C-alpha cells in the first residue's frame, strides 16, 4: 500500500522526519509531497525544499519525494496512493487535521491517518525553527543536519 505525507516543510524538521520514518514502517511505499501553502510566505522555494527533504530521507529505501502543485487528493490519485499521513502535535492540530480529512474523503476515496507527534519532537514547528534561526540561535536539535546547512546559507 502506498501513502502520501504532504506538507510545506519550510523547513523540514525532525518532527516531519519522525512522521516520515514512522510512515515508512507502516506502508510499502511513501511519497513525501512537498507543496506550496498559499497562506504562508516560504523561506525556500519548492525545488529547494524538495532537495532538502530528499537528502534528509535518502536512507529510507521505500520513500520518495515529489513536488505537490494542487490538491493532496489529486496528488494521491496521480501517484496511486490511497492514504494521507499527517502528524499532529496537539489537540488543535488534530482538530484541523480532522476537518481536512473529512474534506479530502468527500472529494476522493482517500483515507487520512493522523500520527501523534513523538514526545521528543512534539514542540518543534517550522515557524519556530525559522524564528530561532533568524535570531542567530542554534537549530541543530530541531532539524536534520542538511537543513542546518541550508538555513545557514539562506539567512
Q: 51 phi and psi, to 5 degrees?
A: -65, -40
CA distance 92 to 104: 19
Residue pair 14/124 in contact by the 8 Å Cβ criterion: yes
Active-site position among 22, 54, 79, 89: 89
Q: Is 126 among the residues known to form the active site? A: yes
The yes-or-no answer on residue 40 being catalytic is: yes
Catalytic residue among 40, 90, 134, 141: 40
> Measured in whole angstroms, how far is the alpha carbon of residue 136 from the centre of its chain?
24
Residue in the structure block whose three cell numbers are 520518495? 64
**Which member of 8, 24, 126, 150 is catalytic?**
126
Please state, in angstroms and rounded to a whole number, the distance separating the CA atoms of residues 63 and 28.
Answer: 9
* Active-site annotation holds for 16: yes
The residue from 16, 49, 86, 130 that is catalytic is 16
Backbone angles phi, psi at 116, to 5 degrees: -65, 145
Active site residues per annotation: 16, 40, 89, 126
Amino acid at each position: 500500500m502506498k501513502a502520501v505525507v504532504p506538507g510545506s516543510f519550510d523547513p523540514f524538521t525532525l518532527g516531519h522526519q519522525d512522521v516520515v520514518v514512522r510512515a515508512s514502517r507502516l506502508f510499502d511505499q511513501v511519497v513525501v509531497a512537498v507543496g506550496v501553502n498559499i497562506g504562508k510566505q516560504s523561506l525556500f522555494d519548492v525545488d529547494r525544499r524538495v532537495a532538502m527533504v530528499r537528502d534528509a530521507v535518502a536512507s529510507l529505501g521505500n520513500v520518495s519525494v515529489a513536488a505537490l502543485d494542487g490538491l493532496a487528493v489529486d496528488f494521491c490519485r496521480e501517484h496511486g496512493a490511497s492514504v494521507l499521513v499527517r502528524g499532529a502535535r496537539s489537540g488543535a492540530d488534530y482538530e484541523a487535521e480532522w476537518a481536512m480529512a473529512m474534506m479530502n474523503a468527500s472529494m476522493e476515496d482517500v483515507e487520512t491517518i493522523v500520527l501523534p507527534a513523538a514526545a521528543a519532537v512534539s514542540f518543534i514547528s517550522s515557524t519556530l525553527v525559522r524564528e530561532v534561526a533568524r535570531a542567530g540561535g542554534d537549530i541543530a536539535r530541531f532539524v536534520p543536519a542538511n537543513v542546518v546547512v541550508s538555513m545557514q546559507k539562506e539567512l
